[in-house]
Copies of this chain bind each other. A is one copy, B any other.
Amino acid sequence: MLKNHLQSKRKLIDSKIELYLSKLEYPNVIAEGMRYSVLNGGKRLRPILLLMILDLYEKDLELGLPSAVAIELIHSYSLVHDDLPALDNDDYRRGKLTTHKKFGEAEAILIGDALLTHSFSLIVDETKNVEAEKLLKIIGMISRYAGINGMIGGQMVDIESEKKKVSLETLEYIHANKTGKLLKLPVEIGAIISDASKDEYEALEKYAELIGLAFQIKDDILDIEGEFEKIGKPIGSDLELEKTTYPSIFGLEKSKDILKEVIEKAKNSLELFPSEKVLIFKELADYIAFREN
């Protein structure tokens, strides 16, 4: 059930990304580079989460598709910039050349900038039938969660933490911000569009935080146990960079136990919704914990 669900949602999202980005033409290297960086076979977990919330409230998915794609553009830009020589210096992502390897370094910096910038006009220009007040709230939230007090902050502290031991508190800050905020974002935006009650909003927020944490612990585990063919990037890069991770603090087995606990909590966090309506959210939590890439 989950697999089909994810596949059909992913198809819908990919078709929207293609549609929105097909409108961009000149300069060709930026337009092509934006499409190359986003249309990369990604899992689309973030936009899917937004659509799952709209489904939960039986809302028209069109209300949230521009925001969902905008978040994916921001996710993509962050990968383009993270892969740059001055940052992670990665040549491959998902088995394809990274954007700077394909288009050049100056180009990749500008392609990333263009993806981030475009995400905001996409929301303004393509969203129909959502009140201006709500859209403003969404734009403010995207900007906060993706900025210094969110994703960029997490990324910076992550870089600062290479080659040294950091505290669990710092590791939690990195996880909550570098990956966590961009996973909470679609859930909260979905809740805003759907007029979730305060209790529902908080439950959904909790769920998003927990699967975000699980996602990151799983990433740390995959960096030790994963297979290159499946995750599409070299194994052991955390070890090489002497990064503090869940396994480096707690050991591999204890990290797996923590992951299980977090997933259980996530699955239990949506009890105030009818259980048949949130089955898919529980399946998604399991998928995050047991995925191979």
A interface with B by C-beta (< 8 Å):
24, 26-27, 29-31, 34, 77, 81, 84, 86-87, 104-107, 109-110, 112-114, 116-121, 124-125, 131-133, 135-137, 139-140, 142-144, 146-149, 152-153, 155-157, 159-160
Residue on B nearest A113 in the bound complex, by CB: B152
A-B contact pairs, 10 of them (CB 8 A): A27-B157, A81-B113, A84-B106, A86-B105, A110-B156, A112-B113, A114-B147, A117-B143, A124-B139, A125-B140
A73 vs chain B, min Cβ distance (A): 11
A159 vs chain B, min Cβ distance (A): 6
A105 to B105, CA, bound (A): 13
Would you call A120 and B120 a contact (CB within 8 A)?
yes
Copies in the complex: 2
| Contact status of A139 and B120, CB under 8 A, knowing A148-B31, A156-B27 | yes
A124 to B147, CA, bound (A): 14
Residue on B nearest A74 in the bound complex, by CB: B117
A28 vs chain B, min Cβ distance (A): 9
Would you call A117 and B114 a contact (CB within 8 A)?
no
Inside 8 A of A81's CB, which chain B residues have their CB?
109-110, 113
Closest 9 pairs between A and B when the two form their complex, measured CB to CB: A124-B140, A121-B143, A132-B132, A86-B105, A120-B143, A117-B147, A27-B156, A86-B106, A114-B148
Would you call A117 and B146 a contact (CB within 8 A)?
yes
Cβ 8 A contact of A30, one of B87, B135, B153: B153
Inside 8 A of A31's CB, which chain B residues have their CB?
148
Would you call B140 and A120 a contact (CB within 8 A)?
yes
Residue on B nearest A104 in the bound complex, by CB: B86
Would you call B117 and A152 a contact (CB within 8 A)?
yes
Residue on B nearest A78 in the bound complex, by CB: B113
Residue on B nearest A112 in the bound complex, by CB: B113
A13 vs chain B, min Cβ distance (A): 21
Inside 8 A of A87's CB, which chain B residues have their CB?
106, 109
A155 to B131, CA, bound (A): 35
Would you call A153 and B27 a contact (CB within 8 A)?
yes
A152 to B121, CA, bound (A): 14
Inside 8 A of A131's CB, which chain B residues have their CB?
132
Inside 8 A of A157's CB, which chain B residues have their CB?
27
Cβ 8 A contact of A121, one of B34, B119, B147, B155: B147
Cβ 8 A contact of A135, one of B84, B116, B136, B146: B136
A235 to B231, CA, bound (A): 49
A72 vs chain B, min Cβ distance (A): 16
